[in-house]
Amino acid sequence: MSGPGDGVLVWLDGALTTAAEARISPFDHGMLVGDGVFETLVAVDGVPFAWTRHYRRLVQSASALGFEPPDSESLLDATRQVLGGNDLNQGAARVRVTITSGPGPLGSDRGEQGVTALVAATVQQPFPPTTDVVIAPWPRNERGALVGLKTTSYAENARAMAYAKERGGGEAIFANTQGNLCEGTGTNVYVVSGGEVVTPPLSAGCLDGVTRQLLLEASVTVGVTIREQDVPVAALADADEAFLSSSTRGAQPIAHVDGRALPIAPGQLTEKLAAAYAELAAGNPDP
């Protein structure tokens, strides 16, 4: 699938510009060494959803790497400009906010010119009602330097997604070095067995997903407990039902794991939690 055209407007370091005219230094460390952070969020009818939570995580990720993003109001205004400039104020749009450590020397040392800040957006097409997942053959290091950070060092995820696509999957799932379930390339994962919903704890190495946070909160309103506990990755294929969550997918049921069909997709608890999340999202654009 081709990307957006050159006439698409993006916000780069304080100003709107077309994609064709946007210029990022060839020495930018976001490109050279993946030294950057990002957030992906959905805007509905021009309103970014859960902005405060996404910005808070952006700051946490950047601070952990040792640099500071622009302030919340600047990036929120930039997001609104990009949405309006690209006629994305109706329906669902996918917004990407990227902050890198900026231009630097050829190597790991950073420069002193300051960060690069980019906001872009495209139409968000709906995901299929269910998806198939493939277990990646490479473990996620739950003790790595970037655990819990949403960074632009995404080659591992890109490789795993390509592996899943080659096998007919719509998402790749990582185990961690202990053989426990961790996360997808851009999703959190949930297993339902015997009427219980389990998701890996943050100590397993998964990202503290914004949708994960909201599902944990929304679950209380419908009387469904989501337990955070370690579970072997093999339990995913043996689940009664299972689902993924992310800002763009919401709660998406899993139909097959490595080609093996789960008993039901979507399952009753998956549907209940998905409905609770949808109600929460509809009632508050910045929960």
Closest C-alpha to 206, from 235, 233, 225, 224: 233
CA atoms within 13 A on the CB side of 161: 10
Alpha-carbon span 248 to 91, nearest angstrom: 13
Which pLDDT value is given to residue 3?
Answer: 64
What are the structural domains of the chain?
A: 9-123 (3.30.470.10), 131-283 (3.20.10.10)
Express each pLDDT in 229-285 by its tens digit.
Answer: 999 999 999 999 999 999 999 999 999 999 999 999 999 999 999 999 999 888 899
What is the phi-psi region of residue 195: left when phi exceeds 0, alpha when psi lies from -120 to 50, beta otherwise? left
1, pLDDT greater than 50 = no
Which pLDDT value is given to residue 283?
Answer: 82
Beta bridge partners of 181: 175
Local confidence band at 5 (pLDDT 50, 70, 90 cut-offs) = confident
4, pLDDT greater than 60 = yes
Express each pLDDT in 165-208 by its tens digit.
Answer: 999 999 999 999 999 999 999 999 999 999 999 999 999 999 99
Mean pLDDT of all residues belonging to the chain = 96
The two three-digit tokens of residue 213, written as one number: 């946070």
Angle at 17 between CA 12 and CA 23, to 5 degrees: 60
Beta bridge partners of 106: none
CA atoms within 13 A on the CB side of 145: 5
Give the mean pLDDT of 121-144.
Answer: 97
Decide: residue 133, CB within 10 A, 0-12 exposed, 13-18 middle, 19+ buried. buried
Local confidence band at 2 (pLDDT 50, 70, 90 cut-offs) = low
The two three-digit tokens of residue 220, written as one number: 């209380």
